[in-house]
Copies of this chain bind each other. A is one copy, B any other.
Amino acid sequence: MASSVSIKDVAARAGVSVGTVSNVLNRTDGVRTETRARVEAAITELHFVRNESARQLRSRRSRIVAVLVLDVTNPFFTEVASGAEEVLGGAGLSVVLCNSDTDEVRQSRYLQLLTEQRVQGILIVPVGPIAKQVTQLRRHGISTVLLDSKMMDGAACSVSVNDVDGGYRAIQHLLDMGHRRIAFVGGKGRESQVADRAKGAHLAFLHHRGTGGELLSLTVRSLTISGGCEAATQVLEIPAEHRPTAAFCSNDLIALGMLRELSSHGVAVPDDFAIVGYDDIDYAGAASVPLSSVRQPARELGRIAAELLLEEAGDREHHHRQAVLETELVVRESSATSHTSRRRGAPKR
């Protein structure tokens, strides 16, 4: 087995002490230029790579931050991670990505692993109640920032999006377009984000009680494209006279799945059925029928979470903060036809 080269070998080669090698590695100043050059030459010649376990054990600080998300294949989450990486990279920290797959068991397993590693911090999009686990993490010196979610009791920093308002906007828009039977598509899980979007949807209906109408809740197995196909199938099974004329999907993957499945069954979007998604991932605007979507500032979400983490790590008098970002409704073709005007026989584009 490759008996790894240690700092001691480098020191011997360069004719200095190990402390000096360590200084070359860790400080930009305080080492004579000529000494530094000699050490650096030895490092190159010996292919030395510092052992991070030893460094971390002694210095008591990791240089890794983990980003734990619900679904790595969802571009929304990788965009968030990318924003975090941008900020953390600048602070000399590396980011590793972990995928809970919206599974509490997997989430716990990762949190255990990350605790054993004593990572510097965790940005987590939690599945299920997380307060206790955050406490455990803090006990081990690991700062945690909640992403796309918030902590009721202020026991951790969080960056979330005003999802109630986002849900409200989506429904208000669909009501404005003349729709009265609207489906909300969510998951079986208890993600608070989805719950908030549903709440906003209900509120919008309440405030527009006068207009009548009805909100139908659909549940799918996973918040993915195939979940969207599932939702479309459910919609198509409803007799035409009770069938909703529009859907508000709790994310864009679902919306894309619905769009595809409905199209392939000859249902025209938006003329026969309107769709509004959530997240505004890149694919949304590029869909076969460009998708209306409630945009979340994904990159910004990651950036701010990273900044809060750095702030918490650097300050022992830290006060947890709850940042809440606003959404923006982006109207595109998938919801652009007025339902009432269509009913009256307006030309289809």
Within 8 Å CB of A51, what residues of B?
Answer: 57, 116, 118
Within 8 Å CB of A96, what residues of B?
Answer: 96-98
State which of A134-142, A151-159, A241-249, A296-304 sits at the interface with chain B.
A134-142
By the criterion CB–CB under 8 Å, are A49 and B140 in contact?
yes
Q: How far is the CA of A140 from the CA of B3 in the complex (A)?
A: 7
Interface extent on A, as a size class? Answer: 35 or more
Q: Is A4 part of the binding interface, using a Cβ–Cβ cutoff of 8 Å?
A: yes
Q: Is A341 part of the binding interface, using a Cβ–Cβ cutoff of 8 Å?
A: no
Within 8 Å CB of A282, what residues of B?
Answer: 226
By the criterion CB–CB under 8 Å, are A52 and B141 in contact?
no
Q: Is A219 part of the binding interface, using a Cβ–Cβ cutoff of 8 Å?
A: no
Q: How far is the CA of A64 from the CA of B138 in the complex (A)?
A: 23
A116 and B50 contact, Cβ closer than 8 Å, known pairs A2-B139, A72-B72, A286-B226: yes
Copies in the complex: 2
Within 8 Å CB of A22, what residues of B?
Answer: none
Chain A residues at the B interface, C-beta cutoff of 8 Å:
1-2, 4, 47, 49-54, 56-57, 62, 64, 72-75, 78, 94, 96-99, 109, 112-113, 115-118, 136, 138-141, 225-226, 229, 257, 260-261, 263-264, 282-283, 286-289, 316
| 8 A-B contact pairs sorted by A residue (CB < 8 Å) | A2-B139, A2-B141, A4-B140, A52-B116, A97-B97, A97-B98, A257-B286, A264-B288
Within 8 Å CB of A136, what residues of B?
Answer: 47
Q: How far is the CA of A112 from the CA of B1 in the complex (A)?
A: 19
Q: How far is the CA of A4 from the CA of B226 in the complex (A)?
A: 44
Q: A4-B141, A260-B286, A261-B286 are in contact. List 14 more A-B contacts (CB 8 A).
A: A2-B140, A2-B141, A4-B118, A4-B139, A49-B116, A52-B118, A53-B54, A53-B56, A53-B118, A96-B96, A96-B97, A97-B99, A260-B287, A288-B288
From B54, B99, B117, give the contact of A52 (CB < 8 A). Answer: B117
What 9 pairs between A and B have smallest CB-CB spacing?
Answer: A52-B116, A260-B288, A53-B53, A53-B57, A53-B56, A2-B141, A264-B288, A72-B72, A49-B115
Q: How far is the CA of A112 from the CA of B260 in the complex (A)?
A: 42
Shortest Cβ distance from A111 into chain B, in angstroms? 10
Within 8 Å CB of A286, what residues of B?
Answer: 225-226, 229, 257, 260-261
Within 8 Å CB of A140, what residues of B?
Answer: 2, 4, 49
